[in-house]
Amino acid sequence: MKTDSIKFKTVHEYISTFPAATQRILKKLHKTIKEAAPEADELISYNMPAFKFHGVLVYYAAYKNHIGFYPTGSGIEAFKKEIAGYKNSKGAVQFPLDKPLPLDLITKMVKFKVKTNLKKIKI
């Protein structure tokens, strides 16, 4: 679904615009992030789902062939080796829709971002 023209208000609204198979993947991703960062606030930012806890933790978005996962630069840098098998950039990694999500890796990345953000507020 082309989501460029829709301005989402909730994560549920965002997820509901995708085909059923993509919705299942997005719900699994959402649940994984919530479990890894239960105190985080979820919101729509840049018109995609996001989690914040003392700053941004992660954003994510669905596309035609992949899920874009955006743990920002520090989250990508810390997991360079683990994400080497996926298309990635300075602040993002792409998880193909036709392969299982690496939920353990996503959990580690979210927990890393929680720790990083907590260190920032202690300074």
Asked whether the whole model's pTM tops 0.85, one would answer yes
Domains of the chain listed by start with CATH number = 11-112 (3.90.1150.200)
pLDDT tens for residues 42-79?
999 999 999 999 999 999 999 999 999 999 989 999 99
The DSSP H or E segment spanning 56 is: strand 56-62
Cα atoms in the Cβ-side hemisphere of radius 13 Å centred on 109: 32
* Residue 4 banded pLDDT, cuts 50, 70, 90: low
Task: Please say whether the beta carbons of 55 and 120 come within 8 A.
Answer: yes
Length of the chain: 123
